Amino acid sequence: MYTQLSKIQSGTFSTVYRAYDSKYQQEVALKIVEKPTQLAKAKKLAHLVAGEYDILTGLGTGHPNICALLDFHERDTCYVFVMEFAARGDLYEVIRSWKTRSEPRVQVDITRLLPQLCSAIDYAHSRGIAHRDIKPENILLDGQGNVKLADWGLSCRSRISHDSHIGTEKYLAPEAYGKPYDTFLADYWSLGITLLFVMFGACPFKSADVSKYLQNPNFAQFVADPQRFTSEYYFKPLHAGRDTVATKRHTSHRRTVSDDGPAEWLCLPQIGRPTLSREQILVLFTTNVVAHLLLVNPAARSMRAFLIRMSSLLVPANTCYSCDADNQPAAKLPTPSFENMSSEFYFPGLVSNPGTVLPMAAKDKGGYQSGGSTSSATTGANSSSSASTSSGSVATSQGSDSKNSGS
């Protein structure tokens, strides 16, 4: 039986609830997909659900950093995916809680996040599965801060895809706007954009569609000179003494760059002697992201090379900051000393209705057995601070970044 339901979030096609599985005595997440009343739409949705079920069963429960399917049910009015529950929610909301000064706030340990996320992607690829929608909203964190890569609804089992515009626009690889393309290498690009968002709280551009340079000069400038673009877009605001993200001005706990440094939601490793500043560490990380993941030529991307280069930098920090509902800090962030960014840090050559599932027997397995991969339309771009400029200058990462409401 699943009891004590509470709504977590709603999307275009589904609603997710937090529930308690009394049979196995654990919290779970119920993804409820309501069946349309129109026959044509119902058939299309059934195909999508069958594809997602096929992907999730193909992934299995063997990898600790993939949000696993625990059970599946089909009812007259809906489909129910019983998934692992991630207590800390998605990465986007974790970062947003720091932007808006919401409680509780907990830092994300990047020395844990990065290798775990890459491991989940590599595992899926080893099973012949491409995610095709990697973004912060689909990266969940459990109670211990471990990654659970989720939402495999747009995934496919094809290394080469003939479907274009599959995924969320701001995270789509340039080649994904045309066809055919390598889905695994496209995942690497999405990973790179995701990591930039994780480090700075903003995506670098609205779209990487090479056919629309005039509509997106930020991307054009990134292609022309990635080092200069990332310096001006992400790091120049730090030198001006401004926040890298917008925060609510009425709160008494507002933090600025001069207080805790950039990316205050991240627990960063302590590197070098003397220890590098937070800005310098972010420069190193950004350089590797750009050099190995964000290459317009898909064949040049390598997640393996990225991890090898990052391995010496991913030394766990001593403590990470957390703040409970009473706003009592458990550990303090290091105080950075901000120095001007030096070229030596750029390595040469690198560049629903809850009543419909009350109650539900855990032993009742719907067993929706069907193969095939999921193919769907773009989930839509987030309205973002990564706005382009008409004058040709780089638009900085100032401003808020609203979450995509799609599922």
Catalytic residues: 133
Among the listed residues 91, 87, 95, the one whose alpha carbon sits nearest the alpha carbon of residue 135: 91
User: Please, are residues 382 and 194 in contact by the beta-carbon 8 Å criterion?
Assistant: no
CA distance 11 to 31: 10
Cβ-contact 112, 310 below 8 angstroms: no
Nearest to 293 by CA among 397, 394, 173: 173
Peptide bond into 104 cis (omega under 30): yes
CA-to-CA distance for 167 and 133, rounded, in angstroms? Answer: 5
3-state secondary structure of 238: helix
Structure tokens given for 203:
């995506």
CB atoms within 10 A of CB 76: 6
Nearest to 35 by CA among 361, 366, 379: 366
DSSP-derived 3-state class of residue 74: strand
Tell me how crowded residue 251 is: count the other CB atoms within 10 A of its CB. 11
In degrees rounded to 5, what are phi and psi of residue 317?
Answer: -75, 160
Token pair 């009394």: residue: 22
DSSP-derived pairing of the beta strands 2-10 and 15-21: antiparallel
Residue by residue, DSSP assigns 80-127 as: EEEEE--TTEEHHHHHHHHHTT-SSEE-EEHHHHHHHHHHHHHHHHHT
Tell me how far CA of residue 65 lies from CA of 31, 57, 307, 381, in angstroms: 19, 15, 17, 26
Q: From CA 314, how far away is CA 303, in angstroms rounded?
A: 15
